[in-house]
Structure 1
Amino acid sequence: MKKIIGIVLGICYSTLVWAQSVEQIKADRSTYLWGEGKGNTLKKADSEALSDLINQITTTIESDFTLLQEEKSESEYKETVKSVIRTYSNATLTNTERIVIENEPDARVFRYMKRSEIDKIFKARKNKILEYLANAETAEEHLQIADALRYYYWSQTLLRSHPEGAAIRYRDKDGEERLAATWIPLKINTLFSHLNITVSRVVPEGNFQTVELTILYNQQPVRNFDYTYWDGRDWSNIVSAKDGRGIAELPALADATHLRVKGEYIFDGEATVDAELKDVINRLDVVPFRSCYIEAYPTQQTSMVGQETVVTGSEEQSQPQAERVASFFKSVSDSERYLPVVKKVEKAIRERNYEGLQSCFTPEGYSMFNRLIRYGRARIVGTPDYRLVKCDDGIFCRSLPLSFHFENNNRTFVEDVVFDFSKDAKIQGLSFGLSQAALADIVSKTGWSERSRMILIRFLENYKTAYALKRLDYIESIFAEDALIIVGTVLKKQTVTERQVTINRPYIRFTRQTKEQYIKRLRSTFASNEFINLRFADNVIRKSADKGEIYGVQIRQDYFSSNYGDSGYLFLMVDLNNPDKPIIHVRAWQPEKDPDFGLIDLPSFTF
């Protein structure tokens, strides 16, 4: 009995202490901001308390949002500021102090923070703005125009949601300090002004015609660029151009030699990777950039050849990068065994008639071809320039450019399909080729043998394609049973050992998955998505000094699927000593570079 009384008295005393603390905080308005909420659950009461706290924060700093003040009328301004402040609640505000005054079912929650801590709420967002600007500059430098536009616009959106947005400065790659509020719109407009889009070919296809586009930035083929076009009735789905090539599909009677293109810069679909960013985009009006509209014309008069309209004078200029890649892929001499097979496949795709085509494939190759055709409504882009390449005992044909469109999604991709031949000249596999820039990154490693570089290229192309064609069996076969699979950024003073692989860095924080967990999650992802497309850029590849063909592959990866999109950094530690049986020992993914640690890389591990 005494014990029970003691517990009751303890609870009463504890409640009294908290009550006194809450009253003291409420009374000290010069030091604290606070909010209080009630509900039948703690979650509901806490949400109400946060909402009350947000109202107080809004009142305190609403006059500081000068960028929004310029956009809105006085009546709209206060509501917009309050709405923007709520975008911080998912992350920062949940870290404010909390006191549970009463538990469920009559829950009462008290949230509070010191006024002096307000600046810290906005520090993380400022850091993200500056990081996006750094990413945008890097993307522009590498001709990744879609990425550059995305990061510039996202940084501008977050800038508008920051109370000090009008004063934030950014030091660019040349060391110049820029006022972000005026510099970002200038950069976006400059990107659009340096784009040149021309009609290179028009191919009639029944009631439609396919318009092939050449897309240059400062007279160089873009690595990527997303756009829509006016088809005479409406704006099209988004098209993702690759290596300076894009397409449009128009009604047969439309004027295909004059096309209105609209460059994508908002990328609200991809913003789902960052809940806070997505919330801000949803709450703020879109900033219109009229420079995003670009007129595409042929560069010279067109001439009729058969049933196709060929636009002369619009070919891409020869680039050292493309020449370097072309010289690496030396063609084999016995092309008469293989080229007729590829041309038969090309003809079948153009005519959409696949009868009798099965004899060109091995059973596995034909299964992959069927998946490829089902991957999206495949169309050939341009005139293929086939190149037969030998790697060990294998022959590969590079490449057939195809576009893919998906019925339940608003995106079209352009990919180069590479054919893998068996010894009896049948197609035993297909893959999506790497971009010209990604190929050039690998080809330039002249200190490695030609064979090593070829094997690495083939592995990365097969890896990328396995996700697109949902080849779960292949992915399962290339991961070691005890593979280390990491998702995350920073860890405080912790070392993790898995098999004989040790993370040396002291500041990695990660979530580790087993192979079984990863494959199970991937199976669910494949089942729930109509399509998956991986886009690689910014390869940094290291070779182990003393372990033969073991590589650390660090890639900037864009991931697109039917219901999700993200960008981040992929690291693979792969053993290619047996090129027919590649083994991944480590897979790590980071959404962004950590400011202290940077990126997970081969030197991060000993084995």
Structure 2
Amino acid sequence: MSSVCAFTSAAAPRNDSNGAVQRAERIKSNKAYYNGTGYGITLDEAKRTAVEDLCGKISRSVNIASSSLDTQDSESFTSQSYISTFVTLTNTETLVVSDEEGKFEVLIYVEKAQVESDMAQRAESVKTLARLGRDMEKRLEIASALKYFNWAYCLARAYHQPVMLDIDGMNHEAKAWLNSHINNIFTTLKIDLEGVETRPDNELDPYLVNLSVTFMGQPVSDLDFSYMNNGVTVRDQHAKNGHASLALEQLPKESIELTVEYKYAHEGAQYSGELATIYASRHPATFRKANLSIPCKGATPEKFQLKEARLTKEEKAEKARNELLAPTAVAPERKRIDTRPVEDSQGHIIVDAMQKVSAAIDSRRYSSVSELFTPEGFARFSKMMNSGKVRTAGSSHEWKVEMGGGYILGKSIPVTIKYNGGHTVREEIVFRFNSQNKIESVAYALTKKAEDDIFRQNGWDLAARYAILHFMEDYQTAYALKDSLYIKKIYSDDAVIIHGKKNPAAGKRRNADGSGFFVTAPYTYSLQTKNQFLENLRKDFDKKKYIKLTFEENEILEQAGIYQNIFWIEIKQYYQSDVYKDVGFLALMIDMREEDPLIKVRTWAPDKVPLPELMKRFTIE
């Protein structure tokens, strides 16, 4: 039997000869405590063996009726001899019974009531994470859904009693439901080959494979994955708006091997001490169905055919069981307000211009379409084209033209951008035409979900929605293009800026004297002036090969009373670069009373903070 425990401990009192021995005996005979004794040549060795003894006794106690090895779980540990109880214990005490050099003896003990309290908190964590996973799944944020479901499953497996989940008014045992549901998500995900392109200018990876990614027939809002490129694993890939693109050295003969991310070990270790202990033990949950094969036999740039992988009879039966026990679910689509499409002769002019720009992107003859832009618009477009190796993605485009925010909007040209260092991302370029049908500005589009959220908000007119949409598109694009001058322009000189980021040193560390542990916070925050923020941003831009922001769900509120046209937006932000990535919630107070919007307040937090709370905390002067 093996046990892994993390614990926080009070400082160890020094040996007072017979007094320590007598106290140790009293503790051992007291049924209100769990205790563990350890011996060692050094004090640290004695403490380590005491922890193992303590955890072993707790494990035997809580596993009398229930083992953490779930034999009905097809994805469980392969070693039948492995039985483990993962515990993060608080308020443990350490007593040094003997500190004779070379013959250390240590007793570590904790109240049984404290252990039960810690265990109960874990059960609540399972319920909370499962609830978060359900919310994310319904929003088609499959990456976040898998993350929360898997974390809940890892904790549930390590709990000594069944945890019951309320799923749509029905009680389900957590381990069984989560295992079935996670597997059901993997089998419900549909990833199809959309097309194959050649990139003669890319000697290293001359093929680009475009995929469609759907869940229950709807485009997936976000999904993280890795794939194999001629025997090399390419990590940190992201599907956006139901699409993904893979750069390949050569086309596989049979299938493209892809693995959906669900563990999020580093984030999990920062989320809770229990998860940190589970991942450190190297026995987290694993799901074989996360490994997907995308059929591509016979696919070439000139010819490809979609072939669905056929399930075996056993796989069909298992899928049916999972669907019956833990069916997948998405929220009903909320209606967004109607926009103003342009379909007359002017619409044809706009589409013709976008088609010419698309051809210029592929031929890399950007100057050939300069007359379609204003000088400012072409400068922005050129900056986009020079940010990496840019190619259009997909063999066909769906062109849309609509009126909005004082512009004629052309949507859109999907592109892939290969940055210095080899990382490839997929974006969609939107075009804003002025009344003379010249392209006045370009930007990378928000995800469909983020845009839909803006146009489903209640309480203000279409012009305000487009203003917010354009502002967030430009904000996202400025980071991709490392445009610090634009960012400087949109921040008020007296802006309140709270900057947050992950702490790479986060976690528990043993005190230097061995007396216990100290905890380093998973995130660090700093209040910065505009100048400080911009200086740090410029340093960030200089040291990173690429930066990609992806915005997802958002909430928008307008200030009441005399402060009309001052909006708060809180939006889920995925930040990715070659050296750092995180997920959190960006909140902005944007003053739109003047022609050029200004950010008055900017905050970031790993979890959502209710907007009304932020509005109370940061008042307008």
> What CA distance in whole angstroms lies between the structure 2 residues aligned with 1:444 and 1:131?
27
The Cα of 1:233 is off from its aligned counterpart by 4.3
> What CA distance in whole angstroms lies between the structure 1 residues aligned with 2:401 and 2:149?
41
TM-score where L is the length of structure 1: 0.72
> What CA distance in whole angstroms lies between the structure 2 residues aligned with 1:259 and 1:334?
43
Preserved contact between residue 38 and residue 53 of structure 2 (Cα < 8 Å): no
> What CA distance in whole angstroms lies between the structure 2 residues aligned with 1:312 and 1:74?
41
Q: Which of 517, 537, 540 pairs up with 2:552? A: 537
Equivalent position of 1:167 in the other structure: 162
Identity of aligned residues (%): 26
Q: Structure 2: which 5+ runs fail to align?
A: 1-12, 72-76, 98-104, 309-330, 501-522
CA displacement 1:261-288 (0-9 Å, x = unmatched): 4333233465575474455334323544
> What CA distance in whole angstroms lies between the structure 2 residues aligned with 1:329 and 1:521?
42
Equivalent position of 2:181 in the other structure: 187
Preserved contact between residue 570 and residue 589 of structure 1 (Cα < 8 Å): yes
CA displacement 1:341-365 (0-9 Å, x = unmatched): 5434422332345565666666665
Correspondence 1:262 to 2:271: no
Structure with higher helix content: 1
CA displacement 1:435-493 (0-9 Å, x = unmatched): 222222222236421111111111121222223333333333323333334479xxxxx
> What CA distance in whole angstroms lies between the structure 2 residues aligned with 1:524 and 1:22?
57
The Cα of 1:313 is off from its aligned counterpart by 12
Letter of the structure 2 residue corresponding to residue 576 of structure 1: M
Q: Show the 5 A alignment for 1:299-314.
A: 308-309=302-303
SS at match of 2:140: coil
Preserved contact between residue 566 and residue 591 of structure 2 (Cα < 8 Å): yes
> What CA distance in whole angstroms lies between the structure 1 residues aligned with 2:286 and 2:250?
32
Letter of the structure 2 residue corresponding to residue 483 of structure 1: A
Letter of the structure 1 residue corresponding to residue 164 of structure 2: R
The Cα of 1:394 is off from its aligned counterpart by 3.8
Preserved contact between residue 210 and residue 243 of structure 2 (Cα < 8 Å): yes
Change (3 A) 1:261 1:52: closer
Correspondence 1:150 to 2:143: no
Q: Structure 1: which 5+ runs fail to align?
A: 1-14, 102-107, 489-508
Equivalent position of 1:244 in the other structure: 242
Equivalent position of 1:477 in the other structure: 489
Letter of the structure 2 residue corresponding to residue 222 of structure 1: V
> What CA distance in whole angstroms lies between the structure 1 residues aligned with 2:266 and 2:344?
44
TM-score where L is the length of structure 2: 0.71
Q: Show the 5 A alignment for 1:28-39.
A: 28-29=26-27, 30=30, 31=33, 33=35
The Cα of 1:246 is off from its aligned counterpart by 2.3
The Cα of 1:574 is off from its aligned counterpart by 1.6
> What CA distance in whole angstroms lies between the structure 2 residues aligned with 1:48 and 1:475?
54
Change (3 A) 1:49 1:472: farther
Letter of the structure 2 residue corresponding to residue 135 of structure 1: L
SS at match of 2:555: strand
Change (3 A) 1:124 1:335: same
Preserved contact between residue 237 and residue 412 of structure 1 (Cα < 8 Å): no
> What CA distance in whole angstroms lies between the structure 1 residues aligned with 2:39 and 2:478?
50
Change (3 A) 1:320 1:56: closer
Correspondence 1:386 to 2:387: no
Correspondence 1:551 to 2:545: no
> What CA distance in whole angstroms lies between the structure 1 residues aligned with 2:379 and 2:267?
31
Change (3 A) 1:452 1:152: same
> What CA distance in whole angstroms lies between the structure 1 residues aligned with 2:111 and 2:288?
44
Preserved contact between residue 570 and residue 588 of structure 1 (Cα < 8 Å): yes
Change (3 A) 1:195 1:74: closer
Correspondence 1:514 to 2:512: no
> What CA distance in whole angstroms lies between the structure 2 residues aligned with 1:273 and 1:380?
38
Preserved contact between residue 349 and residue 379 of structure 1 (Cα < 8 Å): yes
Q: Which of 413, 431, 436 pairs up with 1:400? A: 413
The Cα of 1:560 is off from its aligned counterpart by 2.5
Q: Show the 5 A alignment for 1:282-321.
A: 282-285=280-283, 287-296=285-294, 308-309=302-303
Q: Show the 5 A alignment for 1:562-601.
A: 562-578=578-594, 580-592=595-607, 600-601=613-614
Letter of the structure 1 residue corresponding to residue 466 of structure 2: M
Equivalent position of 1:4 in the other structure: none
The Cα of 1:572 is off from its aligned counterpart by 2.1
Letter of the structure 2 residue corresponding to residue 202 of structure 1: V
Preserved contact between residue 47 and residue 106 of structure 2 (Cα < 8 Å): no
Letter of the structure 1 residue corresponding to residue 147 of structure 2: R
CA displacement 1:248-270 (0-9 Å, x = unmatched): 344566458x5454333233465
> What CA distance in whole angstroms lies between the structure 2 residues aligned with 1:393 and 1:327?
13
Q: Relative to structure 2, which stretch is displaced further, 555-564 or 145-154?
A: 555-564
Change (3 A) 1:417 1:17: same
Correspondence 1:444 to 2:444: no
Q: Show the 5 A alignment for 1:348-363.
A: 348-352=360-364, 354=366
Change (3 A) 1:75 1:436: closer
Letter of the structure 2 residue corresponding to residue 334 of structure 1: Q
Change (3 A) 1:312 1:133: closer
Equivalent position of 1:67 in the other structure: 68
> What CA distance in whole angstroms lies between the structure 2 residues aligned with 1:520 and 1:112?
51
Q: Show the 5 A alignment for 1:197-216.
A: 197-206=191-200, 208-216=206-214
Aligned residue pair count: 536
